[in-house]
Structure 1
């Protein structure tokens, strides 16, 4: 895979109580150029995220291990280290400009499909905040080599 990639991440959150408006269940999608490298059996993707209405950015690093572990590390306007492992619950602090949250991630399903020029990741997880279940979530990630 080339160093320059195009990253597409879409996320969908289903409210646990089921009382949200239907249009609130629209997926959120980000498509951005990113840097890719492979080191010690792990795929790394690095990109900057702009937050609307706020000065500064969030630096993101995604680490995909071939043993089925996904990590998303954020620094800058938001700081966290989220870990996704099938069948496990991982807790992390999530610092935002508005305060800090204790986030629990219970990964129910995760698949990683890696080919020469493309990596597809699917994660289904339960999200709890400060000990309270708030949503069922899906993340779809597509990392595609940019041919020069």
Structure 2
């Protein structure tokens, strides 16, 4: 995998079973890729709606484990470990949000020019379930062909 990559992210939350899943959130951006000490690293900036400054993201991936760190106007360190619950504080310009993340699966695959991770988790706040969530990240070398996806 090259240092300069195209990062495709898709997040889906289901908050109410009677209405089905909410609309997916999708982001396609360029970023940097590193591999060190058996861990894959992704670095990219994200412009969030309503914020003047970008949020700097670092994603650490290894089998059964993913970690997302955000720095800037939004700050958090979310840890996704299979069959574990982790607590995190999501710091926003409007105040902190305490969250519980109970990860049900981290499926990881890699090929020479493809890195893919699918994470499923339950998001909770104040001891109450808020949503069932899925996050799908696919990384390809910048400029490679066939970089669209999200069939599932």
- Same fold per superposition (TM over 0.5): yes
SS of 1:133's partner is strand
1:127 aligned to 114, 123, 128, which one? 123
* 1:140 to 2:139 alignment: no
Match of 1:107 among 103, 119, 140: 103
Asked if the contact 1:108–1:126 (Cα under 8 Å) also holds between the matched residues in 2, the reply is yes
| Equivalences, count | 144
| Alignment match of 1:45 (pick from 42, 49, 58) | 42
* Contact 1:2-1:147 at 8 Å conserved across structures: no
Partners of 1:130 and 1:48 in 2: CA distance: 30
DSSP-derived class of the 2:70 partner: strand
Please give the alpha-carbon distance, in whole angstroms, between the structure 2 residues aligned to 1:135 and 1:147. 35
SS of 2:91's partner is strand
Which aligned runs of 4 or more in structure 1 are off by greater than 6 angstroms?
Answer: none
Taking the TM superposition and a 5 Å limit, the aligned residue runs for 1:1-148 are: 1-15=1-15, 17-18=16-17, 20=19, 25-66=22-63, 68-146=64-142
The aligned counterpart of 2:147 is none
Q: Which stretch shows the higher mean deviation, 130-139 or 3-12?
A: 130-139
C-alpha RMSD of matched pairs (Å): 1.5
Give 3-state SS (helix, strand or coil) of 2:105's partner.
Answer: strand
Paired residue secondary structure (1:25):
coil
